[in-house]
Structure 1
Amino acid sequence: MTERVVIVGGGIAGVSTAASLRAQGFGGEVILVDAGEFPYDRPPLSKDFLTGTKDIKQIALQPAQWYDDQHVRLINRTTVTALRPRDGAVELTGGQLIPADRVVLATGGGAARPPIPGLADPRVHVLRTADDADRLRLSLTPGARVLVVGAGLIGAEVASTAVRLGCEVVLVDPVGVPLAAALGPELAAWLHALHDRHRVTTVRATVESFTNRPEGIEAVVDGVAGVHDAVVLGVGMVPSTELAEAAGLEVDRGILVDERQVTSNPAVLAVGDPARLRGVPRTEHWEAAQQDGARAAATILGTPAPVPTAPWFWTDRHGRHIEAVGHMEAAAHTVIRGSFDDPTFSVFGLRDGLVVAGASVDDPSAVRAARRLIDRRIPVVADRLADPAVNLRGLLRG
């Protein structure tokens, strides 16, 4: 019988595991170990928190009272230094052992750092934690010359925030149209072009080196040198698997888990960014981590796992809100609903008369409808899907 669950890491996956355990009726002890003062949400780090319009308490995943109300013991400002599955315990900083019947690894990940010479310069920033954002904010002053490396979700959001703060921003990526696989080539191209319309200079190139100069940090981009006041790396993340590896768990580009989030040791589960279902690429989005937590709780309780739904994510940049669901790369063709000049519009990916993906700009209801069409495998007629006069909810009736 599971009487005590120790969750390692206080991101959305870890907190969701704790919340799901209580919501599903777990009556044993739940301990959440987190390195920070309290668990906080990470998407605001590149937006409201970076601008200073929200402070750390305003992005907390749960208010402080929640942990008491849910009988979740939060051990903060502490890290787990070792797993002792054979001893049924985890080891904390300082050597303290905490007994655990099941351990859930929600260790997240760190910012990827490509092998670029000069990367150790203190003016080169990453953005994974609130501390990272606090340091970066000091550099985002009006007129500051900022180089953002990587035009994916984090890089694009930081570029948007920096230009809004009055910085001169250059955004570099070797890919001509970032996010095309996730959003489709048409929407991805429109989205990337937003940068130029908002005074962000976009460059398709590769950064070769950084050099400390008296006037700033010099970056050589495809052979051309430019001087900047700050550099931000947004080139992905590396899953934190060190604890798992030291404990002898199977690790291969993430902590390998089965469909119930169980690792190669049945006493240990893994959720969120570091977890990878065997044979499937890791999923690093917020909702996926939340769903991992619900599955892990069901596994611990021996109850049916939640029914999987199409993967969903969102991003905000230059005052526009974008959502996407499903697998656009699986689409045989795309259907555009509305016009890219409209205040709101959507793109749907179809294959064999079924919706396999959807993405929208400032129209979350379209993505909610797309998700239902995907999950229920409801056949659609492309012309009706493309017609803004056709109510999407009507298509849900088939």
Structure 2
Amino acid sequence: MTDAARPGSVLVVGGGVAGFAAVRELRRRGFEGELTLVDPEGLPYDRPPLSKEFLTGDADAHRLLLAPPAWFAEHRVALVARRVERLELDDDARPRAVLDDGAVLTADAVVLAPGGRPRPLAVPGGDHLDVAVLRTRADAERLAARLHVGARVTVIGGGFTGAEVASAARAALAEVTLVSASAAPALAAVGPALAARLHGMHAAHGVDVLEGAVTGIDHADAADSAADVPHTVHVRRPDGSETSVTADLVVAAVGIVPDTALAEAAGLAVDGGILVDAAGRTSHPAVFAAGDAVRRRRTDTVPAHAARHWEPALHSGQDVAAAILGEDVSDRGAPWFWSDRHGVHVEGVGLMLPVPGGRIVDRSVRGTVVASFALDAAGRMTGAASVDDPMAVKAARRIIDRGIVVDPDRLADPDVPVKALLRG
């Protein structure tokens, strides 16, 4: 793209990792035009630590920042701490973003990076204002203030966020109940053996694990200061029996859904996310989208699976910046993620669900599974996950990206470094 064809101005909506990555990559690639980032929370900050070290008090708000305040002035990025109420897209005019104070911002190109919002807990009482969720820094601050010795905390959802919140609550010496709809909620991400080990850590650290589906939550009248049970969570067990859990604090951690409201209202194509091509282009030529809110088209009509983790969000922001400038989008390898709970560090890469004819290979040390690997029918690795061994996942990622066929017996042998299998 010639300099004359490049947009003179870009407006980025959303201050998470995807939005900030787009801004930073535009400047890194030499974009000299007007650059504006709009987010009601102001300075862009990182979200994953909110359920980890920020919730436990091991990191403060300053450490969450994706860049210091001075960076934005040095790189001529205007920060607007407002909310975009609507996006106006006319064929014969530049896109316009109307803010919550009535101001209007225009730009040659717009990047939507609104991220996700907590999935609603669709049961009676699930929408009560005192049911906590964790998505923003303010959410984490409110939650952290209520985690203390003896507090009765019920976490609904056994996925990564729910597990991390339960771990943080136990670290604060709260009495914790984790309600999980599955006996192995991380199975799709880390494989059955590691999922069972990780889920079993809760009970080992004093968390009361309750398998079942929440059917409703009763809330005491806030005016009744004598009420000893602020919340009662009702659960249906797998055998059909009913049980109840009392709590001072209920946390809903049942996943996120893409925040597509702005895109839908503007008439952009949406189907389980804002539909984009490989470079992040939406159905409007001047609008791009990145991060947890997007879903890539596999073809012109069929949407593909969305990978909603930190690294894919980072890469999508970088790819959008390249596309805006008419430059090639980088090839991306297998997606990577991480999680922390009860003092252990979990990493994974690729896809751990077995494919037809494939298999899962577990690596154990003294009877404990420390890593799992997914192989396809030809013996090529498609996914890997480990506990406290990031170097194994790093090597596995290279094996996956290169399409190397591996020996299952050597893969299962803990005395064989995973990086040694890079030679096939």
Deviation of 1:341 (Å):
5.0
Deviation of 1:233 (Å):
0.3
Match of 1:42 in 2: 47
Residue identity matched to 1:381: D
In 2, are the aligned partners of 1:123 and 1:217 still within 8 Å (CA)? Answer: no
Match of 1:119 in 2: 126
Deviation of 1:93 (Å):
2.1
Deviation of 1:379 (Å):
1.6
Match of 1:350 in 2: 375
- TM-score, normalised to structure 1, is 0.96
Residue identity matched to 2:342: H
For residues 337-365 of structure 1, the C-alpha deviation after alignment (integer angstroms, 9 at most, x for no partner) is 332756x9321111111111111110100
In the alignment, is residue 192 of structure 1 matched against residue 199 of structure 2?
yes
Stretch of structure 1 that moved more, 302-311 or 63-72: 63-72
For 1:120 and 1:166, how far apart are their aligned partners in 2? 27
- What is the total number of aligned residue pairs between the two structures? 396
Match of 1:321 among 337, 345, 351: 345
For 1:134 and 1:259, how far apart are their aligned partners in 2? 36
User: Secondary structure of the equivalent of 1:207?
Assistant: strand
For 1:212 and 1:298, how far apart are their aligned partners in 2? 50
Match of 1:106 in 2: 113
In the alignment, is residue 384 of structure 1 matched against residue 391 of structure 2?
no
In the alignment, is residue 52 of structure 1 matched against residue 76 of structure 2?
no
Residue identity matched to 2:396: A
Question: Where in structure 2 are the equivalents of 1:83-232 lying within 5 Å?
Answer: 83-86=87-90, 87-88=93-94, 89-213=96-220, 214-215=227-228, 216-222=230-236, 223-232=242-251
In the alignment, is residue 82 of structure 1 matched against residue 86 of structure 2?
yes
For 1:180 and 1:339, how far apart are their aligned partners in 2? 20
Stretch of structure 1 that moved more, 222-231 or 385-394: 385-394
For 2:361 and 2:408, how far apart are their aligned partners in 1? 7
Residue identity matched to 2:288: L
Residue identity matched to 2:71: W
Match of 1:241 among 260, 278, 289: 260
Match of 2:24 in 1: 19
In the alignment, is residue 371 of structure 1 matched against residue 397 of structure 2?
yes
In the alignment, is residue 394 of structure 1 matched against residue 401 of structure 2?
no
Over 6 Å off, 4+ runs: none
In the alignment, is residue 71 of structure 1 matched against residue 96 of structure 2?
no
For 1:37 and 1:27, how far apart are their aligned partners in 2? 22
Deviation of 1:259 (Å):
1.1
Question: CA 1:340 to 1:25, structure 2 compared with 1: closer, same or farther past 3 Å?
Answer: farther
Residue identity matched to 2:331: V
Stretch of structure 1 that moved more, 109-118 or 166-175: 109-118
Residue identity matched to 1:295: D
Deviation of 1:390 (Å):
2.4
Residue identity matched to 2:364: G
Match of 1:273 among 292, 311, 315: 292
Match of 1:296 in 2: 320
In 1, are the aligned partners of 2:52 and 2:165 still within 8 Å (CA)? Answer: yes
Contiguous gaps of at least 5 residues in structure 1? none
For 2:214 and 2:335, how far apart are their aligned partners in 1? 32
In 2, are the aligned partners of 1:83 and 1:91 still within 8 Å (CA)? Answer: yes
User: Secondary structure of the equivalent of 2:338?
Assistant: strand
Question: CA 1:132 to 1:394, structure 2 compared with 1: closer, same or farther past 3 Å?
Answer: same
For 1:42 and 1:341, how far apart are their aligned partners in 2? 35
Stretch of structure 1 that moved more, 81-90 or 239-248: 81-90
- TM-score, normalised to structure 2, is 0.90
Match of 2:11 in 1: 6
For 1:199 and 1:123, how far apart are their aligned partners in 2? 25
Match of 1:362 among 360, 384, 388: 388
Question: CA 1:260 to 1:330, structure 2 compared with 1: closer, same or farther past 3 Å?
Answer: farther
For residues 369-397 of structure 1, the C-alpha deviation after alignment (integer angstroms, 9 at most, x for no partner) is 11000001112111122223323333223
Deviation of 1:210 (Å):
1.2
For 1:302 and 1:340, how far apart are their aligned partners in 2? 54
In 1, are the aligned partners of 2:392 and 2:419 still within 8 Å (CA)? Answer: no
**Alignment RMSD, CA only?**
1.5
For 2:367 and 2:28, how far apart are their aligned partners in 1? 44
For 1:226 and 1:340, how far apart are their aligned partners in 2? 37
Deviation of 1:280 (Å):
1.1
For 2:60 and 2:394, how far apart are their aligned partners in 1? 30
